[in-house]
């Protein structure tokens, strides 16, 4: 069975601080995919990144960066120089290889990030 | 319109009412999903449709009835709901292939059952 754990329920930071959101996953599959989504107060989940289990390179996109470590089953997300607009709930998700043709995502419970001015 | 749209955005209904939620995707995807998001609970997958065929039903009560007339449209028909069904209902779509592609979500319908 798959499981995603986001131990941090809520994080509060002041603007311009760096913040790291933790994600730990469990799966028996050797091929799997990891995702991060952002859910602002408007409600829509916004896709941020997909990473497959064979690609352990870290990725940077602007102020966002992701650290994937198979050895610790973690896929952490760092926001550098946080801004008020980063305030949202962030979800980590896991999917097995979509041999059936579609993906079934297992989501963590989410981490609420509050960035104050 | 672009992406995934959902209507209505907000819905208040009594327990004896019948209503429908609509989802439309403009991304050319072939897989569509319904999720339920309740306060303080993880996102719950309800239904999956792949090329218009229902492929997953995660033990959802029969008072929720999905319909997928084509790959672009997905409906969720609601009848005799309970107050605990109040939640944000999210629709998503994805590419259907041998890999696991990301899902794109609509803005959701905030449902309140009175």
Look at residue B95 in the predicted model and tell me its pLDDT. Answer: 87
- Tell me, what's the pLDDT at A99? 62
pLDDT digits (tens, 9 = 90+) for B66-111: 999 999 999 999 999 999 999 999 999 998 876 667 899 999 999 9
B54 pLDDT higher than 80: yes
pLDDT given at position A100: 66
| Cβ contacts of B101 on chain A, cutoff 8 Å | 50, 98, 103
Q: Which residues of A touch B30 (CB under 8 A)?
A: 101
Which regions in chain A score pLDDT beneath 70? 97-101
Mean pLDDT of B56-60: 84
Structure-block tokens of residue B83: 């107050």
Interchain pair A35, B55: CB under 8 A: no
Beta-bridge partners for B104: B93
Q: Write down the pLDDT at residue A57.
A: 83
d(CA A31, CA A95): 9
- A43 contact B CB<8A: yes
Residues 73-92 of A with CB under 8 A from B: 91
- Residue B76's pLDDT is what? 97
Query: For chains A and B, what is the number of CB pairs under 8 angstroms?
Result: 73
Identify the pLDDT of residue B25. Answer: 96
- Shortest distance between the Cα of B107 and any Cα of chain A, in A, equals 4
Which among B30, B42, B102 has the least Cβ separation from residue A47?
B102
pLDDT tens digits for range B2-52: 799 999 999 999 988 899 999 999 999 999 999 999 987 889 999 999 888
Interface check A95 vs B, CB under 8 A: yes
Task: Find all residues with CB under 8 Å of B62, minimum gap 6, and list them.
Answer: none
Rounded Cα distance, B74 and A74, in Å: 34
What pLDDT does residue B27 have?
94
pLDDT reported for residue B98: 65
Structure tokens at B43: 């996102």
Contacts of B56 in chain A (CB under 8 A): 104
Buried/exposed A53-64: b ≥16 CB within 10 Å, e otherwise: beeeeeeeeeeb
Q: Is B99 on the interface with A (CB under 8 A)?
A: yes
């Amino acid at each position: 069975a798959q499981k995603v754990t986001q131990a941090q329920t809520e994080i509060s930071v002041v603007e311009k601080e760096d913040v790291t959101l933790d994600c730990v996953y469990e799966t028996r599959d050797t091929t799997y995919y990891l995702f991060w989504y952002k859910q602002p107060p408007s409600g829509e989940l916004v896709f941020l990144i997909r990473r497959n289990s064979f690609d352990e390179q870290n990725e940077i996109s602007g102020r966002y960066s992701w650290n994937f470590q198979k050895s610790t089953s973690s896929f952490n997300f760092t926001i550098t120089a946080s801004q008020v607009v980063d305030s949202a709930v962030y979800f980590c998700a896991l999917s097995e290889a979509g041999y059936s043709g579609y993906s079934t995502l297992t989501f963590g419970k989410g981490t609420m990030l509050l960035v104050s001015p | 319109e672009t992406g995934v749209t959902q209507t209505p955005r907000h819905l208040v209904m009594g327990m004896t009412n019948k209503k429908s939620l609509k989802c439309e995707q403009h991304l050319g995807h072939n897989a569509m999903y319904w999720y339920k998001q309740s306060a303080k609970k993880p996102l719950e997958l309800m239904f999956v449709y792949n090329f218009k065929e229902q492929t997953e039903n995660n033990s959802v009560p029969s008072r929720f009835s999905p319909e997928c007339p084509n790959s672009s449209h997905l409906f969720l028909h609601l009848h005799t709901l309970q107050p605990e069904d109040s939640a944000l209902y999210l629709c998503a779509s994805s590419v259907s292939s041998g890999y696991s592609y990301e899902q794109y979500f609509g803005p959701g319908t905030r449902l309140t059952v009175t």
